[in-house]
Amino acid sequence: MAFKVVHALALPGVDHGERLLEGLNATLVMGLWVREDEIIEHAREADAVIGVVSDNQFTRRVLEALHKCRIVAGIGIGFDTTDVEAATELGIVVTNVPDYCLDEVSGTAVALMLALGRKLFQADRGVRKTQNLYTRNRGALMETLYPVFRMRSQTVGIIGLGKIGTATALKARGLGLRVIAYDPYVLGAVMESRGVEPVDFDQLLKESDFISIHTPLNEETREIVGYEEFRKMKRTCYFINTARGGCVDQGALVRALGEGLIAGAGIDVTIDEPISKGNPLLKMDNVILTGHSAYYSTTSDAENFLKPMTQVVKALMGQWPEYAVNPEVRKRWMKKWGSVPPE
């Protein structure tokens, strides 16, 4: 059987895993197509499509036009703007790359905790301004940094104890911090096995010195943290978001920072990306912004572009892709495309 594979986000100088198709009698068509009509035009006859599943590319209209497609292999972790329900109805498996940046994002979350908790950016600005924050000049020191707390006496609250949330928890525990977590889909015994104390949402909000959110964006988690949640936090609490901008009510975050309901924030993701020039967060000295870069390292970037092709190869060979985000289509998919009986 001859296959057609369409890569809709082919970038120069990137290893997209083209060599993995060798021996599969597959034709690879590569381009940079992001609009619905472009994808339909180039992928209408495709057996597999690779693209960004968090960028409004794969709507019901697009998926219905891909009448031969057995897999949409996504680049990146998020898939909140892909119509997964439509894909499931149409018998298309959708995959992402859920493990390519675990170390990078969890490391950024912990780095933000340290930078905020130790007020490193304020110290840097203070030194540049006064050339001296040494303890003999306690006035400048206190004015710039007070209050700073010993990290080992602090509590980290993690919302969403999935892969990245767990990696963040383990790193925070390695620094000696107490770690608590809220995740209704993870058993308390599993949390405890990772050295994490399970708590309800209100307890997490009230007890945490740092709150780090690590949930996917869906109807259940959209604006899971809003103004009422910020009101329940300690005024010395730092809020960190390396998940999705939509998980937080951004207006409420700005208001909470302006009213002093929380001490500061480390924000990697915002509603407006790239962040708009008029965004109030840009003017706040107690906010660190990293511009949706938490995922990035040379290693993770390479994996992000290579791994979708591994899922395509499995699908073309009739094997169930391990990164499927719609497992409910598995039996029907395996009956239609599979080379082995479904489990």
Catalytic residue IDs: 244, 273, 292
Edge-to-edge strand order for the sheet containing 93-95? 26-30, 3-7, 48-52, 71-75, 93-95
**209 contacts 234 by C-beta, under 8 angstroms:** yes
Interatomic CA distance for residues 108 and 59, integer angstroms: 32
Give the C-alpha distances (Å, rounded to integers) separating 93 from 85, 90, 145, 242, 302.
10, 9, 52, 27, 23
By the 8 A CB rule, do 129 and 141 touch? no
Structural tokens at position 243: 């998940």
What does 306-343 look like in DSSP terms, one character per residue? HHHHHHHHHHHTT---TTBS-GGGHHHHHHHH-SS---
Q: What angle do CA 172, 150, 209 make, to 5 degrees?
A: 60
Distances (CA, A) of 111 to 108, 174, 190: 5, 13, 25
Coil vs helix vs strand at 259: coil
Task: Report the DSSP pairing between strands 48-52 and 93-95.
Answer: unpaired
Q: Helices 102-117 and 120-130 sit at what angle, rounded to 10 degrees? A: 50
Is the separation of the CB atoms in 290 and 267 below 8 Å?
Answer: yes
CA gap 191, 198 in Å, rounded: 6
The C-alpha atoms of residue 187 and residue 299 are separated, in whole angstroms, by 32
Q: How far is CA 221 from the centre of its chain?
A: 13
